[in-house]
Chain A
Amino acid sequence: EDKVVQSPLSLVVHEGDTVTLNCSYEVTNFRSLLWYKQEKKAPTFLFMLTSSGIEKKSGRLSSILDKKELFSILNITATQTGDSAIYLCAVNQGAQKLVFGQGTRLTINP
């Protein structure tokens, strides 16, 4: 069965800390891996990764994919309270079908 596993499920840190969120996957077909941020409402797109070893960066967020070891990480540096959210990892298996992980609930305390 195709699966995407995220860890940790929950993380609480202080403002200014750096966090690393993990996503591992086992799927029959892999096309790309996507990261989403979900605050109170709908998930919003962060990154799409298709190639190993190429870091995607947006401000304090960055992500990288390892297709050999079948995982991705999402890093957030100098965290702020506004980074508090659920971070979702999803694998596109082709034909646009996304399989989501269960998410990591990140809480940033001031």
Chain B
Amino acid sequence: ETGVTQTPRHLVMGMTNKKSLKCEQHLGHNAMYWYKQSAKKPLELMFVYSLEERVENNSVPSRFSPECPNSSHLFLHLHTLQPEDSALYLCASSQAGENTEAFFGQGTRLTVV
């Protein structure tokens, strides 16, 4: 248990579906992240929220839409995804303004069919 909880753990969706991934952290952190992890690739940073403001958006397609309603919760809204978007999506949190480690959730295994 890392203090970062992601739901669902597994998700299968069609290309025309709309779904959302949820992340919740109980560590008192104020920075949250979405990463994409594909096979045999380094972790790809997608979005960063610091103090509930988006501070990084690494050229992620608009079919991925993040939302951070407060410092403990982070969502990733998915719409009209492509099969190549199938991957493990990881949420992480850390303390903003400090050069320290990030804590990860277990991830959501997403399959787009």
Q: Answer yes or no: are A and B bound together in one complex.
A: no
